[in-house]
Amino acid sequence: MTAAISIENLKKTYDNGHEALKGISLEVQPGDFFALLGPNGAGKSTTIGVIATLVKKTSGKVAVFGKDVDTHVFETKLDLGIVPQEVNFSQFERVRDIVMTQAGYYGLSRKLAAERAETYLRKLGLWDKRMMRSRTLSGGMKRRLMIARALVHEPRLLILDEPTAGVDIELRRSMWEFLTEINRAGTTIILTTHYLEEAEHLCRNIAIIDEGEIIENTSMKRLLSQLDSQVFILDLINELFELPNDTPDGVTLHKIDSHCIEVEVSGSRDLGELFSYLGDRGIQVTSMRNKTNRLEQLFLAKLRDE
C-alpha cells in the first residue's frame, strides 16, 4: 500500500547553522491517526513545514501518497491540509471569506466553495460567526476556523500542529470527536500535541522526535506495553492511620494523607487482586486515577534515555 506520507532521510539546517532535522525517516499509512510527539524545538514543526513546502529542506525526500512534493507540486498540495500551530489568517477578513478564499486557492468554484464553507463551518460550530471579523473570535474559535479552512478542499491527509493548544477541555473533547469522525471517514491524520492524553486517546501510531531525530516509531499499543509499572492515586472512604506492611509482590504503597494513598503496581499485576487485598484490610476506595498520564510517563522516560 502506498504510504500517505513517506519521509526519507530528511535533513534541515537553518541559515544560522541550527540543525533542526538530522535525517529523519518516517512512514504514515493511509487512514492512520498518527501522533508526532516531541519536546519544544525537537523538529516537529520543521517537519510539517517541509511537508507543507513552507520550509526548504536541506536534503532528503518527502512523498505524499507516493508522489514527490518537489516534482508533483499540484497533486501533493491538493492532497494536503495543514493546520498550523500559530494563527495564520488575516485578522481583518470575515470568517466565511477566509474559508471561501482558501477554497478558491484550491480551484473550487464559488458555488462549491460556498457549500463546503457552510458544511465545515457548521460542523465546527462557527456558522453563526460566519460574518464576524476573524480578530473578534476567541482562541478556540480561531483554531476551529483553521481546521475548517484546512478541510475545505477535502484533503486525504490532514496535518494538525498542536490544534488544541490553549483550548478549554470541553472544546478540546468536541474537537477530538470531530477529528475521530473525519478519520473514520477515511482522512489520514497526523497530529502534534503537547497533551499526551490527547495523543493516547486519539492516535493508533506514534513517533517521538527529539533533537531532530526519531527516537521511537511504533504503535500506541506497543509503546504503552513498555510501561514497567503504573502509579495510581486512590481516594479512601475511611480514615487510614497506618499502611499495611504485608503488601503483595509488585505492589508498593505510600500514604499521601489520611484519606489518600499512592499505589505503584508492576505492569503484570492484576488490579482485581489489589482491590481484594485492600478490601480485606478494610481499606475502601472511593476513586482512583493515574498519577501521571501513561504516555507522559513513557515519553519522559524515552527523552531521558536519549
Residues that bind another protein (CB under 8 A): 14-15, 49, 52-56, 67, 71-75, 77-78, 80, 82, 84, 86-92, 97, 101-102, 104-109, 149
Residue 58 C-beta: closest distance to another protein, Å: 11
Residue whose CB is less far from another protein, 107 or 248? 107
SS3 assignment for the chain? CCCCEEEEEEEEECCCCCEEEEEEEEEECCCCEEEEECCCCCCHHHHHHHHCCCCCCCEEEEEECCEECCCCHHHHHHHEEEECCCCCCCCCCEHHHHHHHHHHHCCCCHHHHHHHHHHHHHHCCCHHHCCCEHHHCCHHHHHHHHHHHHHCCCCCEEEEECCCCCCCHHHHHHHHHHHHHHHHCCCEEEEECCCHHHHHHHCCEEEEEECCEEEEEEEHHHHHCCCCEEEEEEEECCCCCCCCCCCCCCEEEEEEECCEEEEEEECCCCHHHHHHHHHHCCCCEEEEEECCCHHHHHHHHHHHHC
What is the nearest approach in angstroms of another protein to the Cβ of residue 113?
A: 9
CB atoms within 10 A of CB 203: 23
To the nearest whole angstrom, how small is the minimum distance from the Cβ of residue 54 to another protein? 6
Task: Tell me the three cell numbers of residue 247.
Answer: 503488601
CB 191 within 8 A of CB 201: no
Please say which residue, 162 or 216, places its beta carbon nearer to another protein: 162
Please report how close the Cβ of residue 43 comes to another protein at its closest, in angstroms. Answer: 13
Sign of the Cα pseudo-torsion (105, 110, 112, 115, in order): positive
Toward another protein, which CB reaches closer, 134 or 230? Answer: 134
Closest to another protein by CB, 6 or 76: 76
In the complex, least distance from residue 211 CB atom to another protein, rounded to whole angstroms: 19
Minimum CB distance to another protein smaller for 113 or for 278: 113
Residue 77 vs 130, nearer CB to another protein: 77
Give, to the nearest 10 degrees, the angle between helix 95-105 and helix 139-151: 30
Q: Smallest distance, Å, CB 94 to another protein?
A: 10
Closest contact distance (angstroms) between CB of 213 and another protein is: 20
Q: Which is nearer to another protein, 6 or 46 (CB)?
A: 46
CB of 174 to another protein, least distance (A): 25
Give 115 or 264: the residue with its C-beta nearer to another protein. Answer: 115
Query: How many other C-beta atoms lie within 10 A of the C-beta of residue 112?
Result: 14
